[in-house]
Amino acid sequence: MELDDDPEEPAFPPFVRPYYEQPLTVARASGTRLWDLEGRSYLDGYCGVATVVLGHCHEQVDRAAHEQARTFGHVSAIYRSDLTVSYARELLRALGGGLRRVFFVNSGSEAVDLALCLARVAAGSEHVVALADGYHGGTYLSKSATGLGGWHFRSAVAPAIALATTPNCHGCPHRACAAGGQPCLADLARELGSIKARGETPIVLLEPVLGVGGIVIPPDSYFAGLMELKRETGAVLVVDEVQTGFGRCGGRLFGFQKVGLTPDLVALGKGIANGYPLGAVAMTRAVAEADPDLLHFNTFGGHPASIAAARQTLSILSSPGFLDGVAVRGELFLRSEGPGATCSAWSRR
């Protein structure tokens, strides 16, 4: 059969699940709207898979990327540019919390993967504890750390990754939601204690809000307990902000800032550049300097056009009152019952 006669979509292998019978072919986009080939308009509630945080074809972001592309494009990650250095400093200032170095990659999945690799170097241990309903990406290591079923390649799961119970007080696995996540915290403590008892330093990976796992917001007491466990065990904490970062939770730029976590590494992606391909791993100085002989490189990570888009995105998100507006819109969820109301109250912080 000739390729042109093949009835199947060449860009949609069977393992891609688009969730519709007739694919939507996008002809153009602007703001929150998409248009198909027939000119029909759609409200994009998916936001480019939680990525286009400022809306499609944002004039300022696109102009920044375009102007940079006309100046210089790919030149190699080992060359210095004022643009990349300036953005790195601005991003680290926005993150705060002792994070002092950043490495740019192509996507959030790649960021989580590298963050786990660096955490293992810093810990001198392979042992990772993630949450049973967490989702962390599509690379080998990020898939392996994903607790949700259906997202793994059956023959390829990395070793030394344990799953702790998800602190979901709207569907408490321990049927003890009034306990404020304490049974789930005890489960995490057992996992970390088991690793520590073997003379190893544990690594903890989690999302401040579990996205694919059902928009699960752990209670404040769980995060406070996690920080206490971190102090007791010396655990290396990796926070996955790929979905929650860059204002998506309202009030603050990053989810970990809202709940009092002090991460050793933060993985970033999705909304970082309003749809342009970019990811990043921010880390403490101790993590960055854990192995002076470590060598790592990335061909396309930190492409200048994406960095320009990311810098403009961060500038807009950081403008006075912008995130307050996000929190105000979260008030709409107060009209609903259950998880939505909790989500809105959380967004006001």
pLDDT digits over 54-82, tens only?
A: 999 999 999 999 999 999 999 888 888 99
What separation in angstroms does the CA of 308 have from each of 48, 71, 84, 276?
19, 11, 8, 10
pTM of the model: 0.92
Beta strand 99-105 with 279-284 is antiparallel
The CA distances from residue 336 to 80, 169, 220, 332, 346, in Å, are 50, 17, 22, 8, 14
DSSP 36: E
The whole-number average pLDDT for the span 133-139 is: 94
Encoded tokens for 203:
């690594």
Confidence check: pLDDT of 340 > 50:
no
What share of the chain has pLDDT > 70, as a percent? 88
Residue 335: the pLDDT is 57
DSSP state of 165: P
3-state SS of 123-174?
HCCCCEEEECCCCCCCCHHHHHCCCCCCCCECCECCCCEEEECCCCCCCCCC
- Find residue 128's DSSP bridge partners: 161, 203
Question: 50 vs 277, which has greater pLDDT?
Answer: 277
Q: How confident is the model at residue 138 (pLDDT cuts 50, 70, 90)?
A: very high
Confidence of residue 266 (pLDDT cuts 50, 70, 90): very high
DSSP single-letter state for residue 210: B
* 264 CB burial (10 A radius; 0-12, 13-18, 19+): buried
Q: Distance between CA 211 and CA 243 in Å, rounded?
A: 7
CATH number of 59-347: 3.40.640.10
pLDDT band for 159, please (50, 70, 90 cuts). confident
Least confident range from 125-129, 167-171, 320-324: namely 167-171
Q: Which amino acid is at 302?
A: G
Residue 332 pLDDT exceeds 90? no
pLDDT in tens, 6-57: 666 787 787 877 777 777 889 999 999 999 999 999 999 888 778 999 999 9
pLDDT of residue 23: 77
The owner of tokens 């309202």 is 250
Looking at the DSSP bridge assignments, the partners of residue 216 are 210
**Rounded Cα gap, residues 130 and 158, in angstroms:** 13
pLDDT in tens, 75-126: 888 888 999 999 999 999 999 999 999 999 999 999 999 999 999 999 999 9
pLDDT at 3: 62
* 3-state secondary structure at position 35: strand
Q: Span 184-193, mean pLDDT?
A: 95
- Through-space distance between the first and last CA atoms of the chain, rounded to whole angstroms: 59
Provide mean pLDDT across the span 236-262: 95
Show the DSSP H helices in 136-219 as ranges.
140-144, 182-197
Q: For 211-242, how does the pLDDT look when each residue is reduced to its tens digit (9 = 90+)?
A: 999 889 899 999 999 999 999 999 999 999 99
Residue 142 CA, chain-centre distance (Å), reads: 11
**What is the DSSP pairing of strand 33-36 with strand 41-43?**
antiparallel
Q: Taking the domains of the chain in order of start, what are their residue ranges?
A: 3-45, 59-347
Work out the percent of the chain whose per-residue pLDDT is above 90: 70
Q: Is 103 helix (H, G, I), strand (E, B) or coil?
A: strand
Query: What is the enclosing helix (H) or strand (E) of 11?
Result: none
pLDDT over 90 (residue 256) = yes
